[in-house]
A and B are shown apart, each in its own frame.
Chain A
């Protein structure tokens, strides 16, 4: 039964990730007083990319060709291990493992970006690796806080335990942890204020610069992997903050579906709102961003020890 639930959850997430990004773009357009593209546009772009011919630079080696596979596999594994639609308590979703897998994916993409021998790729790779490196301590402290509060270390189990009692009464300090985790999700998902996913100016790119040389199906794989990662992490963050009505945690099916759709829309809207309000930070000021995230996470953990 657990296996069935996990499989359905994963397939749903795999299917809905581009829709999530489409919703974010739609909301952002509405906030900017535009009509925006239809929400299923990401599906269309991915399909178009799959049909296109792929051009590969003559300087690229096997690393360039292997990177998209690794990145997409890691994203799919993260989608499997971090349940969002249904909360299952599979032990393989160990949070430390998930953070390490995220680092593997980042490393693979970074190497793919360097391999094409372009200056933009190198720049994006250097920045992305720095971001991955700075995210690591913050993420570990967040995981430690969640683990020490709930006593469990896998993604689904944490959500299920948080669902058993309202955390804002029992563990109010978790607000800091969640704030830090939100900042981390923005960094991992290459959204504002860390990175601009819609820019066309190379000097402002991080993720986009690394995928600049990719085209056709490889580009589709990388774009989809990025969408999937962000969608999974953002929805899981939403599950942490509002761990109610999650299917599989004792809630009936209909209310679970409604709650999931509501979270989907609200998180997309909040992301779009954030992107409309803040500007992208200059890269060389990112240590302030990550220091803030780390201090928030640290506070959350320390307060949990006191109370």
Chain B
């Protein structure tokens, strides 16, 4: 394979991740959100795989496999199932209208790119991917902040994690395998727990958002 293709390929995939992230902020229905998330994670898988193939870092294949198994296949299916079982509403609530959310998402992207410009000397070629990762992190946080439904918050957290993982992949050629595995486990368990919590909260309060959790303070 032509090593020259690596850079543009990664850039394109990163761009796809970014676009899907921005779109995710505007989704209201759980299924469409999870589909976009799966797509974004698939792009991540391809980044990892291309890194493995082009730069001969073969442990990245294992990473790619893990990401595929968990983020593309398992988590979205799991969450949809729990949602169907619990008969949680398919529409999530947010503090802002979808259009406004997307607008702010774009602003976040611009902010992320602006912040990364001061890192150009150290990044060199990796500028775009780094900028995309930081933007994804900010997008994830934004989603965490604005979504009221617990599913929205889970996905926001997962986007945040995606962004950080991409940054790691781009800058350092992947973290040590053990660390990656550990992080994966963390994220997975976290997501499972949150989904179950949603089920429980819904069972208790008939709502799937965090409003009633306010009364838990002392």
Do chains A and B make direct contact within the complex (CB under 8 angstroms)? no
